[in-house]
Chains A and B, each alone.
Chain A
């Protein structure tokens, strides 16, 4: 292959692949991949669900995120903190996008600790949008004491902190089954098909009807699991939509720029061939 042909092929390949790069990277990559090389016993089955936010053009479904927040608030927040989020995030663009009055109301429903006041005492007051989400326990020791020694992890970035991301969270929440025959379940533990090692300290948190949805969505464990998984993915990546949007413009800019630079390079180098030996 001559130099020119090799070069032309490479450029064409890059320009053809460039638009596909975001898609191919994004399709598998937006959530952390399930790891290879996991222990051979109890290998969790994590199948990939269809989410509205996967792919380079993916966006969140506001209504789903709002339902997910409701599930978090009514079920999960009794044990799990989300201390990196603030109530105002619930109203910001790219998320559940609750209207401002709803954000004030959601915050106001919760009592948070503030102070010290002039007497030096800490006191309780209703939360404001600028406050962080209230943690159920004041410190990890209290959390352990309230949960048989197990520490319920903070859920702020859990969507990125587990291989499989929202797929894994969904699989875990819907993975509570009776253990297979002969499986040794330690006392206080529950069998879960998705959790590494298959034994989890968290009792099954969801059951049909435990949360009543206001928008007509069926109150099933499957829907709760889906909605809260999507919500947790947003909580981990609140800038996902903005990132995709800006990314699209950047990719277009760069691809056009690449074409222009390719032509400019050829223009400049053509002068060289004019002056010296005619090109072979």
Chain B
């Protein structure tokens, strides 16, 4: 005497829809724990993509400046990025110092060794007592190309600094953007001089 009624949602035994609130509390708690558990499990899966401890541990680069003459520049790698170090001539220093900051497209110093609101004076872009030396992350702030200007024969743009061949941004002798689509001055990394001829980046 098998019941041959087809099994459809219409005739399956169903839970009640009017319920005392105690049931709701437990169901809400169960749902809440499940959601919390899922979020807690998801976080490590996302966080693991962040730079790991070995990348974060301040990998430093020491650079020997003894053989860099005025007018010359070197490029070194730090944290996977090129660092422009230019030994500026007096003319280049004068051109950089003699400028009202208000005229600049980006008035901020962008110097990791100074507060964020420091202004882009040449003083704030270099170290006191070592004005000829400019230490800068050599990446154009527009879309990340490496500007020209390190080699002696490079075209350095109208301001004698650096010229980015990708979209024409022009930087002055303190690495500040003067023309073109780049929104910011090239950034100054954390650095310190170990001696007159040695600088430590990072």
Enumerate chain A interface residues (CB-CB to B < 8 A): 86, 88, 117-118, 125, 128-130, 253, 256-257, 260-261, 263-264, 267-268, 271-272, 274-276
Asked whether, in the complex, the Cβ of B30 is within 8 Å of the Cβ of A274, the reply is no
Q: Does B128 contact A (CB under 8 A)?
A: no
**Within the assembled complex, what's the spacing in Å between the Cα atoms of A129 and B59?**
9
**Within the assembled complex, what's the spacing in Å between the Cα atoms of A275 and B14?**
8
Q: Pick the contact of A88 from B14, B57, B62, B64 — CB < 8 Å?
A: B57
Q: Does B16 contact A (CB under 8 A)?
A: yes
**Within the assembled complex, what's the spacing in Å between the Cα atoms of A276 and B12?**
11
Asked whether, in the complex, the Cβ of B30 is within 8 Å of the Cβ of A260, the reply is yes
Q: Pick the contact of A264 from B26, B37, B64 — CB < 8 Å?
A: B26
Q: Does B143 contact A (CB under 8 A)?
A: no
Q: How many A-B residue pairs have CB under 8 A?
A: 46
Asked whether, in the complex, the Cβ of A272 is within 8 Å of the Cβ of B26, the reply is no
Q: Does B195 contact A (CB under 8 A)?
A: no
A-B contact pairs, 24 of them (CB 8 A): A86-B57, A88-B57, A118-B64, A118-B67, A125-B62, A128-B60, A130-B58, A253-B36, A253-B37, A253-B40, A256-B33, A260-B26, A260-B30, A260-B33, A261-B33, A263-B26, A264-B26, A264-B27, A264-B29, A264-B30, A267-B26, A267-B27, A272-B13, A275-B13
**Within the assembled complex, what's the spacing in Å between the Cα atoms of A257 and B35?**
11
Give the residues in chain A near B64, CB-CB below 8 Å.
117-118
Asked whether, in the complex, the Cβ of A257 is within 8 Å of the Cβ of B37, the reply is yes
**Within the assembled complex, what's the spacing in Å between the Cα atoms of A271 and B14?**
8
Asked whether, in the complex, the Cβ of A271 is within 8 Å of the Cβ of B60, the reply is no
**Within the assembled complex, what's the spacing in Å between the Cα atoms of A260 and B62?**
58
Give the residues in chain A near B26, CB-CB below 8 Å.
260, 263-264, 267
Give the residues in chain A near B57, CB-CB below 8 Å.
86, 88, 129-130
Give the residues in chain A near B23, CB-CB below 8 Å.
267
- A260-B29 contact, Cβ under 8 Å, with A86-B54, A129-B57, A130-B58: yes
A114's nearest neighbour on chain B, judged by CB, is: B62
Q: Does B15 contact A (CB under 8 A)?
A: yes
Give the residues in chain A near B14, CB-CB below 8 Å.
275
Nearest 9 A-B pairs (CB), nearest first? A271-B15, A264-B30, A130-B57, A257-B33, A275-B13, A264-B26, A267-B23, A260-B29, A263-B26
**Within the assembled complex, what's the spacing in Å between the Cα atoms of A232 and B27?**
48
Asked whether, in the complex, the Cβ of A130 is within 8 Å of the Cβ of B54, the reply is yes
**Within the assembled complex, what's the spacing in Å between the Cα atoms of A256 and B36?**
13
Asked whether, in the complex, the Cβ of A274 is within 8 Å of the Cβ of B16, the reply is yes
Asked whether, in the complex, the Cβ of B13 is within 8 Å of the Cβ of A268, the reply is no
Tell me the minimal C-beta distance from A267 to chain B in angstroms: 5
Give the residues in chain B near A274, CB-CB below 8 Å.
16
Give the residues in chain B near A264, CB-CB below 8 Å.
26-27, 29-30
Asked whether, in the complex, the Cβ of A130 is within 8 Å of the Cβ of B59, the reply is yes
Tell me the minimal C-beta distance from A261 to chain B in angstroms: 6
Tell me the minimal C-beta distance from A276 to chain B in angstroms: 6
Give the residues in chain B near A263, CB-CB below 8 Å.
26
B13's nearest neighbour on chain A, judged by CB, is: A275
Tell me the minimal C-beta distance from A54 to chain B in angstroms: 26
A274's nearest neighbour on chain B, judged by CB, is: B16
Give the residues in chain B near A86, CB-CB below 8 Å.
54, 57
Q: Pick the contact of A268 from B15, B33, B36, B60 — CB < 8 Å?
A: B15
B17's nearest neighbour on chain A, judged by CB, is: A271
**Within the assembled complex, what's the spacing in Å between the Cα atoms of A47 and B37?**
41
Tell me the minimal C-beta distance from A229 to chain B in angstroms: 25
Tell me the minimal C-beta distance from A170 to chain B in angstroms: 30
A272's nearest neighbour on chain B, judged by CB, is: B13
Give the residues in chain B near A272, CB-CB below 8 Å.
13, 15
- Type the 1/0 row for B28-64, where 1 means its CB is closer than 8 Å to any CB of A: 0110011011001000000000000110011110101
B30's nearest neighbour on chain A, judged by CB, is: A264
**Within the assembled complex, what's the spacing in Å between the Cα atoms of A260 and B27?**
8
